[in-house]
Amino acid sequence: MATDGLKPRLVPALERGIRILDFVTHARNPPSLTEIARELEIAKSSAHTLCHTLTELGLLIRRPDQTFRVGPHVMRWANAFVQQSDVAAEFATLWDEETELPGATITLTVLEGGEVVYIAARNSAISHSLIEFRAGMRLPACFTATGKAFLSHMSEFEVRRLYPDGLPEPRTPYSVKDIETLLSELALVRQNGFSVDDQQVAEGIICFGASVLDSRNRPMAGVAVSLPVDRLEDTSQDCIIASVQRIATRLSHRMGANIGLHQTTDVVPATVSG
């Protein structure tokens, strides 16, 4: 266990693997195994094992002349980083322009397996006391508004495959408790064009969400607006839903989605069941 003032130890094999990837990436010509071992001062047997592993994982490609170049898997990581960075930056820009949601919290997430990961959050002072969303925070997708927006793009088979052992432990008494109820909620998301988390993540907080689409019109992020339930009476629910749809549509347009900038889904009065 690391103590204060001491850096945690690195995993040697992982560190060497990253060094190999860096070396191959920046080499003027594709290097051979001998060159990799010599330049990085790694035993040739270890370099062979590491390069074989990296090749099997698609991180390196072994050329016919037995030299190496970077593999396609690295590009998927790079694309994900660029897209997430871009959407987070655009999200920040749109938030600065947003004036119709005073007192609301707005969040941006990406999907990883059965969870959403928050990559940006603007918390309001009003809802901050009930829950604080922060970058890096992870929550079960089945409970969150952005997660339900993601899951609504999946087939029933794909949703069931995400939760082979059933849904996670409920966070509140209002959290969805079984797959069948979740599938019913997702059908409403598809019908209405927005998702709802009515106190499923935190008691006293209601969230409305929508998907951000990429250039293939596939969901790449989710945006949600959250506010205390007791303030919903003072705010037009339809206005909030229209706002989150507008933000998602503008972000999708900026990410290259093939949808009209002013395209919206007709707002159906929300049924905010727990």
Amino acid type, 254: R
> What confidence category does residue 183 fall into, taking pLDDT thresholds of 50, 70 and 90?
very high
| The pLDDT of residue 266 is above 60 | no
One domain for residues 112 and 19: no
**What value does the mean pLDDT take over residues 191-203?**
95
> What confidence category does residue 267 fall into, taking pLDDT thresholds of 50, 70 and 90?
very low
Highest mean pLDDT among 3-7, 72-76, 211-215: 211-215
Domain count, the chain: 2
Report which of 239, 251, 245 is spatially closest to residue 264, judged by C-alpha positions.
245
DSSP for the chain reads ---TTSPPPP-HHHHHHHHHHHHHHH-SSPPBHHHHHHHHT--HHHHHHHHHHHHHTTSEEE-TTSBEEE-HHHHHHHHHHHHHHHHHHHHHHHHHH--S-TT-EEEEEEEETTEEEEEEEE--HHHHTT----TT-EEETTTSHHHHHHHTTS-HHHHHHH-TT-PPPPSSTTS--SHHHHHHHHHHHHHHSSEEEESSSSTTEEEEEEEEE-TTS-EEEEEEEEEEGGGGGGS-HHHHHHHHHHHHHHHHHHTT-SS-TT--PPPPPP----
One domain for residues 45 and 140: no
One domain for residues 21 and 38: yes
The least confident of 30-44, 45-59, 145-159, 236-250 is 236-250
pTM value is 0.64
One domain for residues 156 and 46: no
One domain for residues 113 and 216: yes
Average pLDDT, the chain: 84
The least confident of 47-61, 71-85, 260-274 is 260-274
One domain for residues 234 and 103: yes
Structure tokens at 192: 């209405």
One domain for residues 45 and 88: no
One domain for residues 212 and 92: yes
186 is in which domain, residue-wise?
A: 79-254
| CATH number of the domain where residue 127 is located | 3.30.450.40
pLDDT of the residue at 260 = 61
